[in-house]
Amino acid sequence: MTDAVYSLQDVRFAYPRGPSPFSLELDALRLDHGEILALVGPNGAGKTTLLTLLAFLNRPSGGRLIFLGRDPWQDETRALQARRQAVLVTHHPYLFKGTISDNLAFGLEVRDIPEDERPARIGEALDLVELPGWEKRSVSGLSAGQAQRVALARALALRPAVLLLDEPTANIDAGLGLRMEAVLREVSRNTGMTVVFSTHNFSQASRLADDILYLSDGRRVEFGHENCFSGRAETDGRQSWIEPRPGLRVVFPGEVRGRVTCVINPADIRVLPAGRAAEAGNGPNVFAGRVTRMETTEAGLALVRVSGDLTFRVTLPVGELDASGISLSRPVLLKFEPGSVDIAGTRP
C-alpha cells in the first residue's frame, strides 16, 4: 500500500497571539493521491486554517501530520521540500509586481527548472485558466477574477503533488467557475494531483469533491448523507422535483430531467415546532420529523438533526432555537424554499 499523501491524527492548531480564542482540532484525516476533498463550513469554521496547515505555512501545535510518509516539520529542509509539493492558492491571491510571466516563473525559478522549459510550462498553465498569450501583461489592473486565475495558473505551472485552493471560484463568474472545476478534475485525474479546496457552495463541493469535510468552530461535523438526496427528476416545466421516498417531494426551480442529486444547505432550512404548522403553510418542501440530536457550537450556532420523513441537519443561531422552544425528541416541521436546493449533479 502506498503512503497516503496526508495523514493527520489529532492535529491541533491555535493562533499564538490571535485576538480570538479560535482553535482547530481534527481527530483524523487521510488523503490519497488524486483525491479531491472539499472543506465546507461557515466563516470562521477553520477552513483556511486547515489549508495553511496542509500547505506547511503553519505548524500544528499538537498531534501528528504526516506528508508522503514523512514528518515535514522534522527540519527546515523537509518543510521546504513539503512546501514545494503542496501549493496554496489563497482567496485573495497576492501577485508579485511585474508581468504575469514573472509571477508564473517564480516557483519554477526557485525549483531550478531549466530556463528553456519555463515558457512552455507558463504557456500551458495560462491556457488552462483561459488566459492564453497573457504572459507579457502587467499584473497591475487585473480584475479580481483575472488575478485569481493567474494565481491558479501560477500554481498549476509547478505541477504540484497537492493543490490547495481557498474558495477558488469566489471571484469568477459561474460559467467560468464550472470550466475551472472541469480543469481541476481533469488535471487531478491525469496527474494524480490531490486537491483540497474550501467553499461555501454546497453544490460545488458535491460536484467536484470525492469527499466533503464539514467544519464548524474548528471541529469536524459528521454530515454523512443528510441533506443530500438523489432521485429521478420530474418536471412541470416551471419547477421540478425528486421523490427520495414515495410521496415525499423535494422541489426545486426550473426544468430539470434525468437522475439528480440535490443538496440543501443546513443554514437555509427553517425549523418550527409542529404546533405552528400554519406558519409552514402548504408550500412545497415542508417535512415533518423529530429532533434526534442537538449540539451548540462556540460560534453561537446550534446544529440540529431531524429524523422523520427524511433526515436533515439544520444550523441556526442558538438564540433562535431558544425562542422557538425546540428541544430534543420534540416533533418539528422543516421548511426550505425551492431556490435553496442546489443541484449537485445530473445524469440522463
Partner 1 sequence: MIAQEVFYAIWVSLKTSGLAALVASFLAVPAALFLASRDFRGKRLVLLVNQTWMAAPTVVIGLLFYALLSRTGPFGGLGILYTQTAMTVGQIFLILPLIVGFSYTALRQVDRRARTTALTLGASRRQAGLVVLREAKFPLLVAVLAGFARAVSEVGIAMMLGGNIRGETRNITTTIALETAKGEFTTGVVLGAILLALTLGINFAVIVGFRSGD
Site residues for partner 1 per CB under 8 A: 17, 55, 57, 76, 80, 83-84, 87-88, 90, 92-94, 96-97, 106-107, 110-111, 154-155, 158
Compute the distance between CA of residue 198 and CA of residue 38 in angstroms, rounded to an integer: 6
- Cβ distance to partner 1 smaller for residue 17 or 347: 17
- Cβ distance to partner 1 smaller for residue 26 or 104: 104
Compute the distance between CA of residue 172 and CA of residue 151 in angstroms, rounded to an integer: 13
- Least distance in angstroms from the C-beta of 72 to partner 1: 13
- Cβ distance to partner 1 smaller for residue 84 or 200: 84
Compute the distance between CA of residue 329 and CA of residue 139 in angstroms, rounded to an integer: 57
β strands within the chain, DSSP E: 6-14, 23-31, 36-40, 62-67, 86-89, 162-166, 194-199, 211-216, 219-221, 228-235, 239-245, 248-253, 258-264, 270-273, 286-296, 301-308, 312-317, 331-335, 341-347
- Cβ distance to partner 1 smaller for residue 68 or 88: 88
- Least distance in angstroms from the C-beta of 83 to partner 1: 6
- Least distance in angstroms from the C-beta of 52 to partner 1: 8
* Number of Cβ within a 10 Å radius of residue 116: 7
- Least distance in angstroms from the C-beta of 314 to partner 1: 36
Q: Amino acid letter at 99?
A: T
Q: How many residues does the structure list for the chain?
A: 348
Q: In b/e form, how buried is each residue of 311-329, taking b as 16+ CB within 10 angstroms?
A: bbbbbbeeeebeebebeee
- Least distance in angstroms from the C-beta of 188 to partner 1: 19
What are the DSSP calls for 246-299, one per residue? TTEEEEEES---EEEEEEE-GGG-EEEEGGGHHHH-S-SSEEEEEEEEEEE-TT
- Least distance in angstroms from the C-beta of 220 to partner 1: 24
Residues 315/317/323/328 CA torsion (nearest 10 deg): 40
- Cβ distance to partner 1 smaller for residue 150 or 184: 150
- Cβ distance to partner 1 smaller for residue 187 or 286: 187
319 three-class SS: helix
- Least distance in angstroms from the C-beta of 110 to partner 1: 5
- Least distance in angstroms from the C-beta of 154 to partner 1: 7
Compute the distance between CA of residue 218 and CA of residue 185 in angstroms, rounded to an integer: 27
- Cβ distance to partner 1 smaller for residue 161 or 215: 161
- Cβ distance to partner 1 smaller for residue 154 or 219: 154
